[in-house]
Amino acid sequence: MHIQRRMAKLRQFGSLLVGALVLACADSGVEKKVLLIGLDGVRVDVLAQAATPTIDSLIAEGTFSDEALTGEPTVSGPSWSSMLIGVWPAKHGVHGNNFEGNAYDSFPDFLTRLERLDSRYGTLAVLDWPPLGTGASGGPLVSDAVDRKINVNGDELGYVAADSVTTRVAAELLEESDVDAAFVYLGNIDVVGHETGSLSDEYRAAIEAADRQVAALVSAIRRRSTYDREDWLILMSTDHGRRDDGGHGGQSIEEQTIFYLAAGPSAVHATAMTPPRIVDVAVTALAHLGVEIDPTWDLDGVVVGLR
């Protein structure tokens, strides 16, 4: 309940804003769009302490929980797989940061699933952790079926520079391209957490820098020439929390607790009463786009935060 307390004064304004946006989107010609922003390795109590005006404004416009739960183990490979696919590791087959032996052919990421359903979907991924988009360590998680997949190598550039490039490229494409669904990954927060610990000034500053990058992505969407005819759902989450020393991978509450955010005209303006799970993200993205969830897909997530 960390951030909810901080956001109380924004709720009244947010409800008025969302109501106006819902009326604006009542026209049947409005196109549904999704942007999922993934921030690696965010600890929720530090997020609550950080200066994050953009994330705060999105919280005020939608559904939020800082008591959401990731799966086990609490490491990036299985967690990002669960988020982007909507199933737990027992199904997608990734149990660590080596992605070999995955079952992505049977359980694809949500962007690839959209392409399989209808190639007319405009899909975009901009990623700077190599296994997410390339063959490194048994990847990619996000397949080559995605229309535009931009890989920035954070391991080579360093993640401060890589996140900057990722944000710039993603903002340009979000503003100018025919995009229906996008995923943008930013990795520097996790790296700083490992290097300096979770309670350091540097770690909090990395979260604040990511908030400015989120602002650039949101602004790019709002500059689209077609924005007034679009209904964008902005989803945001993280893959895992972390211990005080910056590590993760265990079963402590600090490592298992993540945040879930769904904002936009179609989002419910509320605090999630039941803690969302990481597998709910992909299912919610698909549902917003009007995709009927086929039971044969055997997804584990449910829709959270949509009207």
Residue at 306 is within a domain: no
Quote the crossing angle between the two packed helices 8-24 and 53-60, to the nearest 10°.
Answer: 60
Contacts of 294 (CB under 8 A, 6+ apart): none
**HEC assignment per residue over 123-176:** EEEEECCHHHHCCHHHCCCCCCCCCEEEECCHHHHCHHHHHHHHHHHHHHHHHH
Residue at 307 is within a domain: no
In percent, how much of the chain has pLDDT > 90? 88
- The backbone region for 305, taken as left when phi is positive above 0, alpha when psi lies in -120 to 50, beta otherwise, is left
Residue at 305 is within a domain: no
Residue at 302 is within a domain: no
Which amino acid is residue 177, in one-letter code?
Answer: S
Number of domains making up the chain: 1
Residue at 211 is within a domain: yes
Question: Which whole number is the average pLDDT over 75-92?
Answer: 98
Distance CA 40, CA 44 (A): 12
Residue at 270 is within a domain: yes
CATH number at residue 75: 3.40.720.10
How do residues 183-241 score in pLDDT, each as one tens digit?
Answer: 999 999 999 999 999 999 999 999 999 999 999 999 999 999 999 999 999 999 999 99
Tell me if the pTM is above 0.85. yes
Question: Which whole number is the average pLDDT over 245-261?
Answer: 97
How do residues 100-134 score in pLDDT, each as one tens digit?
Answer: 999 999 999 999 999 999 999 999 999 999 999 99
Find the angle CA(275)-CA(90)-CA(191) to the nearest 5 degrees: 65
Provide the domain limits for residue 293.
2-297
Higher per-residue pLDDT: 23 or 253: 253
Distance CA 124, CA 171 (A): 11
Distance CA 242, CA 222 (A): 33
Question: Which whole number is the average pLDDT over 26-55?
Answer: 92
Radius of gyration of the chain (CA): 18
How do residues 287-303 score in pLDDT, each as one tens digit?
Answer: 999 999 999 999 999 99
Residue 237 dihedral angles phi and psi, to the nearest 5°? -160, 180
How do residues 199-213 score in pLDDT, each as one tens digit?
Answer: 999 999 999 999 999
Whether the Cβ atoms of residue 215 and residue 35 lie closer than 8 Å to each other: no
What is the pLDDT, as a whole number, of residue 28? 58
Is the pLDDT at 283 greater than 60, yes or no?
A: yes
Q: What mean pLDDT value characterizes the chain?
A: 92
Residue at 51 is within a domain: yes
Residue at 304 is within a domain: no
